[in-house]
Amino acid sequence: MTDMERLATLAAKEADEAEVYKTSFRSTLAKSTLDRINSTEEKHSAGYGLRVIKDGRVGFSFFTREEDFGKALSTALSTSRHSQKLDIHFSDTGRFPKVKGLFDKKVSEMEEGEMVDLVVSSIDMQKQPGIDLLENFLTRYVGETSIATSSGCFAEYSETLTQFQPIVKSGEEAIAQEEAQSHGMVDTRGLTARGIEAALRTRKSAKLEGEHAIYLHRYAIEELLGKLFAPLIDADDVARKQSAWHDKLGKAVASESLSVYDDPTIDDGISSMPFDAEATPARRRAVIEGGMLASFLSDLSSARLLGTKTSGNAFRPSFTTQPEVGYSNLVFDSEERERMSEASGVVIQLVMGAHTANRATGDFSVGIDQSWLVKNGEFQHAVRKCTLVGNFFEILKNLRLADDDTSDSPYMGPSWVFNGKLV
């Protein structure tokens, strides 16, 4: 019996069920400012989240040292008395899918000096005419997640993750930022080259207004997904009728060629994992199929509120928080694709202010940056910062997909293509 299983069994002596969740990690950051290494930092952290079920109610507490387990158990039992009676049960399974490519030994063993060397190499690439250096961030994460329940479940996996973000400036206004993640070593030089190209492209911009074909890059898509799409398919918001799609299951919500999947089982996927934060085995799930809303994402509690089974989408930002609903790898797919090499319209890499959108009506107005006009796939000129206005629901209903699929972020899909208005 592992220590985790022992704690879960011990807790269940005073509760009906118990679950112990543990994360331990080491993260390292190397950051440069202008042409110098600004700072390097390393964080070691380990801690436990303890959930109990008593009389159908969930209680929670967290602790960092095993000797504080007794106090945490007492707090969890005390908080359970006030929770809503949901009659959920913690995971009792011991079978999880094998997901490859989550851990890279080289990343785990990389020395701090190697990380600094990679950032220095990126700085040196950026030292060229027309480019002003700003900042580079390289992070490395090495972590382990484990869960034990009093129902006999024990699950664990290890993960490495690297992330690189170069930010470069060209001229007075053009600031370009690129970003990518990988469970292996992220391509720092490739990203730096992309950042330099984006900065040089947007150095001199021209005003552009009116209706255009929009090619929305994955950075901009992720902003809209987090602020607008995720709440639509979150079972907790659906159960409370705070999602505009709460009554749309089985109905058309997107263009009929579009399918969207939440898939934590993809090998090497950035948000892949064998199980979620409640030890529910990972599996691929259709969210939208052929334009029709196929399912919502849920954890144990929100599924109970909705009267369904969990979809295995429980996430915990930290051991100090209870699970909440989130998406893993979000795959956007369509058989019909538009070639970026023939694109004519405005490519938008960054949007800002999606959180000000109206979630009920879908109306939004977002600032755009790192954008340019293309004709037959050829760069024409950068577009001066302005505002993209539109309706998110209408965009989904008329959405077309390009052919530039990416896999270096939790959004796994190509650029979005739709008709939009710049003001």
Partner 1 sequence: MSMEDILDRILSLCEGIDYADARFASEERTTILLKDSSVDRITSGTLAGYSVRVLKDGSWGLASSNDPSKLREVVSSAIKLAKASSKRSMGSSLAQEKVVSKRFEFKPKQDARDVTMDAKVNALKELDKEMLEKGISTASIGYSEMTREYRFHNTEGAKLYSSAPLTRFIFEAFVRGETLDVARKSLVRHAGFETEKDAHKTAAETAQSAAMMKNAGRVPSGNYDVIVDSHMGGTMSHEAVGHPCEADLILTGESVLSGKLGKKIANDCISMVDDGTLFPLSGFIPFDDEGTPSQKTQLIKDGTLVSYLHSRETAAKMNTHSTGNSRADSVYFFPIVRMTNTYFEPGDHSLEELVDLKKAVIIEGFSGGVVNPSTGEYQFAGQTGWLVENGEKTKFLKNLSIAGNVMETLKSVDALSKETGEPSAGMCGKSGQSVPVGDFSPWMRIRNARVLGS
State the residues that interact with partner 1 by CB under 8 A. Answer: 30, 32-47, 58-64, 68, 71-72, 75, 78-79, 81-84, 111-113, 115-117, 120, 123, 132, 134-135, 169, 173, 175, 240-242, 244, 320-322, 352-353, 355-356, 358-361, 363, 365, 367, 369, 385, 387
Q: Which is nearer to partner 1, 25 or 103 (CB)?
A: 25
Largest pairwise CA distance in the chain: 69
Nearer to partner 1, 33 or 341 (CB): 33
Collapsing DSSP states into helix, strand and coil, what is residue 230?
helix
Nearer to partner 1 among residue 177 and residue 259 (C-beta) = 177
Q: Residue 2 or residue 356: which is nearer to partner 1 going by CB?
A: 356
Q: How far is CA 229 from CA 70, 341, 376, 422, in A?
A: 41, 28, 30, 22
Could you give phi then psi for residue 87, rounded to 5 degrees? 55, 45
Q: Kindly state the smallest distance separating residue 36's Cβ from partner 1, in Å.
A: 4
Task: Assess contact for 35 and 133: CB atoms under 8 A.
Answer: yes
State the minimum distance, in angstroms, from the CB of residue 251 to partner 1: 18
Q: Which is nearer to partner 1, 74 or 398 (CB)?
A: 74
Provide the minimum distance between the beta carbon of 308 and partner 1 in the complex, in angstroms, as a whole number. 18
Closer residue to partner 1 (CB): 106 or 240: 240
Helix 3-12 to helix 69-80 angle (10° resolution) is 40
Give least dist CB 347 to partner 1, A.
20
| 42 or 256: CB nearest partner 1 | 42
> Whose Cβ is closer to partner 1: residue 321's or residue 398's?
321
- Return d(Cα 85, Cα 54) in angstroms, integer: 9
Distance CA 217, CA 413 (A): 10
Least Å from the CB of residue 97 to partner 1: 29
**Nearest approach, Cβ of residue 401 and partner 1 (Å):** 27
What tokens does 45 get? 């952290």
Q: How far from 17 is each of 94, 152, 153, 327, CA to CA, in Å? A: 16, 11, 12, 27
Cα angle 169, 175, 177 (rounded to 5 degrees) comes to: 105
> Side chain identity at 364, as an amino acid letter?
F
Beta carbon of residue 289, minimum distance to partner 1 (angstroms, whole number): 26
Instruction: Give me the least distance between CB of 90 and partner 1, in Å please.
Output: 16
Q: What is the DSSP string of 100-148?
A: -SS--HHHHH--HHHHHHHHHHHHHHH-STT-EEEEEEEEEEEEEEEEE
CB of 39 to partner 1, least distance (A): 5
Rg (CA), the chain: 23
Give the number of other CB atoms < 10 A from CB of residue 182: 20
Q: State the Cα–Cα distance between residues 122 and 193, nearest whole angstrom.
A: 9
Residue closer to partner 1, measured from CB, 42 or 378: 42
